[in-house]
Structure 1
Amino acid sequence: MGERLRPGGGPGARVELSGWGWQHSGRDTHALRGVDLTIEPGERVLLLGASGAGKSTLLHSLAGLTGPDSAISGDQEGALLVDGEPADRRRGLVGLVSQDPETQLVMARAGDDVAFGLENLGTEPGLIWPRVDGALAEVGFPYGRRHSTGALSGGEKQRLVIAGALAVRPRLLLLDEPTANLDPDGAALVRGVLQRLLAETEATLVLVEHRVADVVDLVDRVVVLEPGGGVIADGAPGAVFAEHGRSLAAQGVWIPGREPEPDVSPGAGGSPLLEAVGVAARTPVELGARSASPRTVLSGVDLPVAAGTATALTGPNGAGKSTLLMMLAGLGRPYRGEVLPRGPLAEADRRPLRRWPARRLARHVGTVFQHAEDQFVTPTVREELLFAPLRAGMERGAADAWVDELLERLRLTRLADVHPYTLSGGEKRRLSVATALSSGPAHAPDVLALDEPTFGQDTRTWTELVELLGVLRTEGRAVVMATHDELLLRHLTDTRVRVSDGGARAESGSRSGTDREEGGSA
C-alpha cells in the first residue's frame, strides 16, 4: 500500500489579503476587488459565491499563478500574502487541485505524475516512491504507477491530481471542486482522505465546492465572495447559513436545505431515434514497450434512445460512460457493434452514425464534451453561439435574438465579447451546453449528448440549464447525459442506465418506471 500520508511540512500557512483585487487581461471588469481576508494557520475555509464570483481566481492567486511573471496574466491591486510573502514566492508550500484535472497532468505515466511535484521540491529520493504509492492508495486510484495518464477517464484523472497534491504534504491545500468528476463512492473516499489528513496535520485548507452539504463537516469557516467585489459573509457555517441563507440562496449560492426546484414538464416520449446494437469498446492502444495492453471497457451493449425522453448514464469512474456517450453521438467508433439511426434519423441517413458526414451529424446530434474547450472554435462567446444557427440557415436577426436570450438566461451577457478559453470552469460548461442549444428550439438537434452538463453551476444557472433541456425533451428531442449529479437525475431522467462491469443496465426508479436490461456485462 505504500506509506500512509502522515504529517509533514510543518504547520499550516497563514493567508492575508488586504484591499486585494484582480482583473484578467482583456476584461473590462475585475474578477475580485477590495478583498480583505485573513486565514490563520490550520483553518479550514469553504469559499462560496455565485458562478463567476472569482472563487477559482482567488485559489489560483493563492497558488502563485497570477502576477507579473506567472501563468495567468492580468492586473493586481492590493496585497496577497502567504506566510508574509507574495504567493508566487511560496509555491513550494501549496498544493492545488483545479477544476479541470486535464490542465494539471504533466507526465505520461500515473506514478511519474504524482512524483513530479515531490521531485521539484527536492524530496529525498528514497521517500518519493513510498509517498507516491501511499497517495495513490489513499485516493483509491485503480491502476499501477505505469498506467498511461492519457488512458484515464475524467474522474480517474481527478483522483490522480488529488494524489499529487496530497503527496507533497502542503501547508496550504487549495481544492477547486475536488470531487466534481467523481462517482459518489469515489467522492466519499476522497472526503474521508481529506478528513483524516486534516485531523493528522495542521495544513490550512481553502475549498471551493458547490454541493455544500457534502463538505460542511470538513470546514470550520465559510467565506462568501461577491462577483467583482469582496467578502459579503464570513463566519462559522451554521451562523452564516442562519443569517444569510435566504439572501445567498437568492444569489445562486448552494445552501443546505435550499435546493433548486426547476419547472420541468414530463417528457413526451416516443419511438427510438438511435440505438446501440451489440456495442463493445476497448481502451486505446498505448505506445511504448511497457504500455498496458488494450482492455475491454464495454461489451454487448444494446441501448435504444427514444424521442421525448431523458436517459442518464451513471456508474463508477472508468466504467465507460463518456465512451458510450461519444459512440451514441456518432463521435466514437465501437470495437464491435454499431450505433444505428432510427425513425427520422434513419430517413436522413441509414448508415451507422459514425459514418455520417460531419455537417449532417452536427445537424441531428448536439454534443457537449467532458472538456468544454474541445468544442470551442471562435474567438468570442457571442460568435460561438452564433456559429451553429447561422450555419443552419437561420436568419441573422432571429439568430441574434435567440443568442441574446441564451446569454441572458445563462448569465453570460457580460462575457459576450470575451474569448471562451478565458471563462471560469462553470462559465465554460454553460457555454458548451448553450452551443448545443444555439440553433434554437425549432432547429435544435434531434438528440443531445451531454457529458456532465451541470458541472460547476450555481443554483440559478443549474435551474436554467435543466429547464432548457426539459423544454427540448417536451418538444420531442432525446437527451442523453453522462452524470453524477443526483439532483439532475431526480428532476430530468426518464431512464437511468448504470454503466459498470462492461455493460449497461437500466435501473429501477426511473421516472418512466422502466426496469429493463439495456445490455449485458462482459
Structure 2
Amino acid sequence: MADAEFTIEPGERVLLLGASGAGKSTLLHGLAGVLGGDEEGEHRGSLLIDGMPAASARGRSGLVLQDPDSQVILARVGDDVAFGCENLGLPREEIWRRVGEALDAVGLDVPLERSTSALSGGQKQRLALAGVLAMRPGLLLLDEPTANLDPAGVAEVQQAVARVLQDRAATLVVVEHRVDVWLPLVDRVIVLAAGGGVLADGEPQQVLNEQGAVLAAAGVWVPGHPPAIPERNRVAHAEPLLQARELAVARVPRHPVASGIDLELRAGRALALTGPNGAGKSTLALTLAGLLSPAGGTLHAHDGLAAGAGTSPIRWKSRQLLGRIGTVFQDPEHQFLTARVRDELAVGPKALGRSASETAAVTDELLQRLRLGHLVDANPFTLSGGEKRRLSVATVLAARPRLLVLDEPTFGQDARTWAELLALLAGLVDEGHAIVAVTHDAAFVRALADEEYALAPAAEQVVPR
C-alpha cells in the first residue's frame, strides 16, 4: 500500500475494499501497531491513532484476523478471552468482569472452562472478537472475519459485531470481500487502489452506485456487478478415477467425523464438498487426496488415476501422489517450501523430472494467468492472503495432476482474480482433469460444480446437479 491519505473520525464505521494485494490487511496491521520495525519492511508517511504513531497506541486498537485458529492462544475459553486484559496489567476482578461482559456481547454462551479446540469456526471467531472487546479498544479492526465460515457462521459473526457497535462507541474498520454482509453496519466505504492511493471514499450506496462499474473493473466485489463466469463443456459420463463406498473419515483414530460416504470422482467432472463448519469437509478432502487413512469403508483408485501405483492412494509414495493427486490445503502457508515465488512453482515439475524449458513454460503461464508475475522474486510468506491462495493453487496446477483436491480455493480473492481462477479451473476440468473443492462459496459451486456433496453434522447427502 502506498500514497493513501484519509482520516477516520471517532465512531465511524468503515468498510475497507480493494483488489487482492492492494494492501488492506497491511493497513489494518499498521493501525494495530503490529507491522514490526524498520528491519521487517519499509514505510513512509505517518499512520496515527489519537495523534500518536500507531505502534505507540497499541492499547487503543484491537485486531481480529481472518483465520480463527491463528488467534486461539489458550486451551480454555475464559483464559483465552482474559489473555489480552492480563497483558494490559488489569486487576484480576476487573479482568473476569470484562470476560463475562465480552462473551455476553458476542453471544458466545459456553462455559468458561470449555476447551477452545471444541469450538466451531464461527464460535472461534466470536471468541477472538470477545478477546479483543474485553480490552475495550477504541478502534475495532476486522480482517475478513467471515473467511472460511459457513453461512450460519457468517451471520453469527456479523450479528455479534452489530451488538457490539450498538452498545459501544467504538470505531470500526472491516476488510471483507462479502460487501453485502457489512453494508447494513457501515457508514463509509474506502477503496484502496492496487497501484497505490485511494480509488473511492464516501457514503456506501453513493460510492457503489456511482462508481460501481469502475470498481468492479478494478476487482472490487460490487453488488449488481457479478464477475464473468466461463462456459463449461459439461460431461455427463466420463472415466471413473476414484470411488468411495461407506467411507468414514477421521483426524483422530477411532473418532470419525463423518461416515457412510459414497462418492465417485470422474475425469472431466467437478465435485463441490459443502456443509457447515465442523462437518468433516476438510478431513474428507484429505482422505480422498491420499493424505489421511480411511477410518472405515473403502477408497478405491481406478486405473485411470492409479496408473500402476495400486488401488489405495494412502499407500502411494509422495512422487506417485504428485503426478496423480494434487492437494491445496486450507492454510496456504502449510505447503510452501521455498523462499521465492518462481522457485515454489517449479518444485512440482522438477520433482517429476520435467525439463527446464517445460518447467519455465508452465511457470510463466501460471504467473501470468494468476496475476503473480510481479512477485516472482518475493518470499511466498510475505504475500497477501489472496496472493498466497493463488500461489498455493498454482503450485498444484504446475504438476498437472489428474485429480485436484482444493480446500477453499477462492478465499481472499477479489472479483477479477476469482473469475480468472475459476476460468483456469474450468479449463482443466474440460480437458479431462477432475476437481474436488471444499467451499462455502455458493457462486463458485454454481459456476463450476457438476455435483455437490453436502455434509451435515448428523447426516450426509449428495445433491445431483
Please say if residues 30 and 54 of structure 2, whose CA atoms lie closer than 8 Å, have aligned partners that are also in contact: yes
Cα deviation code 1:228-280 (max 9, x no counterpart):
41212110011111222111111111111101122131332413311222222
Please say if residues 310 and 495 of structure 1, whose CA atoms lie closer than 8 Å, have aligned partners that are also in contact: yes
> Which whole-Å CA distance do the structure 2 matches of 1:89 and 1:307 have between them?
56
- Which of 63, 68, 72 is 2:37 aligned to? 68
Identity of aligned residues (%): 53
SS of residue matched to 1:498: strand
- Which of 450, 455, 460 is 1:499 aligned to? 455
In the alignment, does 2:422 pair up with 1:466? yes
**In the alignment, what sits opposite 1:450?**
406
Which residues in structure 2 correspond to 1:311-330 (within 5 Å)?
311-330=271-290
> Which whole-Å CA distance do the structure 1 matches of 2:31 and 2:449 have between them?
39
Change (3 A) 1:148 1:477: farther
Moved more, 369-378 or 164-173: 164-173
**In the alignment, what sits opposite 1:280?**
248
> Which whole-Å CA distance do the structure 1 matches of 2:176 and 2:86 have between them?
30
> Which whole-Å CA distance do the structure 2 matches of 1:395 and 1:154 have between them?
43
> Per-residue deviation at 1:187?
0.3
- Which of 93, 97, 103 is 2:64 aligned to? 97
**In the alignment, what sits opposite 1:115?**
82
Give the letter for the 1:86 counterpart: P
Which residues in structure 2 correspond to 1:3-402 (within 5 Å)?
32-68=1-37, 73-129=40-96, 131-132=98-99, 135-136=102-103, 144-149=111-116, 157-268=124-235, 269-282=237-250, 284=252, 295-402=255-362
Change (3 A) 1:379 1:195: same
Moved more, 231-240 or 267-276: 267-276
Give the letter for the 1:486 counterpart: A
> Per-residue deviation at 1:400?
1.1
Cα deviation code 1:81-134 (max 9, x no counterpart):
111111112111211112333433322344322221122223442354464456
Please say if residues 175 and 208 of structure 1, whose CA atoms lie closer than 8 Å, have aligned partners that are also in contact: yes
Change (3 A) 1:108 1:204: same
* Higher helix fraction (1 or 2): 2
Please say if residues 328 and 406 of structure 2, whose CA atoms lie closer than 8 Å, have aligned partners that are also in contact: yes
SS of residue matched to 1:411: coil
> Which whole-Å CA distance do the structure 2 matches of 1:222 and 1:492 have between them?
31
Give RMSD over aligned pairs. 2.2
Cα deviation code 1:158-206 (max 9, x no counterpart):
3432332233332111011110121001101211111121122110000
> Per-residue deviation at 1:408?
1.2
> Which whole-Å CA distance do the structure 1 matches of 2:267 and 2:111 have between them?
42
Please say if residues 447 and 479 of structure 1, whose CA atoms lie closer than 8 Å, have aligned partners that are also in contact: yes
> Which whole-Å CA distance do the structure 2 matches of 1:154 and 1:433 have between them?
23
Please say if residues 290 and 314 of structure 2, whose CA atoms lie closer than 8 Å, have aligned partners that are also in contact: yes
> Which whole-Å CA distance do the structure 2 matches of 1:416 and 1:141 have between them?
43
> Which whole-Å CA distance do the structure 2 matches of 1:420 and 1:376 have between them?
7
SS of residue matched to 2:66: coil
> Per-residue deviation at 1:135?
4.5
Moved more, 125-134 or 400-409: 125-134
Change (3 A) 1:326 1:157: farther
> Per-residue deviation at 1:147?
4.9
Please say if residues 312 and 481 of structure 1, whose CA atoms lie closer than 8 Å, have aligned partners that are also in contact: yes
Please say if residues 329 and 353 of structure 1, whose CA atoms lie closer than 8 Å, have aligned partners that are also in contact: yes
> Which whole-Å CA distance do the structure 2 matches of 1:141 and 1:454 have between them?
28
Give the letter for the 2:133 counterpart: L
In the alignment, does 2:382 pair up with 1:422? yes
Give the letter for the 2:179 counterpart: V
Give the letter for the 2:65 counterpart: S
Change (3 A) 1:398 1:339: same
Please say if residues 245 and 260 of structure 2, whose CA atoms lie closer than 8 Å, have aligned partners that are also in contact: yes
Please say if residues 60 and 66 of structure 1, whose CA atoms lie closer than 8 Å, have aligned partners that are also in contact: yes
> Per-residue deviation at 1:480?
0.5
In the alignment, does 2:363 pair up with 1:403? yes
Give the letter for the 1:478 counterpart: A
Question: What is the TM-score when the length of structure 2 is the normalising length?
Answer: 0.93
SS of residue matched to 1:112: helix
> Structure 2 stretches of 5 or more lacking a match?
none
Moved more, 458-467 or 120-129: 120-129
Give the letter for the 1:272 counterpart: P
Please say if residues 409 and 464 of structure 1, whose CA atoms lie closer than 8 Å, have aligned partners that are also in contact: yes
Change (3 A) 1:283 1:118: farther
**In the alignment, what sits opposite 1:490?**
446
Please say if residues 309 and 473 of structure 1, whose CA atoms lie closer than 8 Å, have aligned partners that are also in contact: yes
Cα deviation code 1:434-470 (max 9, x no counterpart):
111113xxxx211110000000001111011111110
Cα deviation code 1:335-360 (max 9, x no counterpart):
22342212412442334211111110
Give the letter for the 1:483 counterpart: T
Please say if residues 105 and 164 of structure 2, whose CA atoms lie closer than 8 Å, have aligned partners that are also in contact: no
> Structure 1 stretches of 5 or more lacking a match?
1-31, 286-293, 512-522
Please say if residues 340 and 350 of structure 1, whose CA atoms lie closer than 8 Å, have aligned partners that are also in contact: no
SS of residue matched to 2:245: strand
> Which whole-Å CA distance do the structure 2 matches of 1:243 and 1:474 have between them?
38
SS of residue matched to 2:44: strand
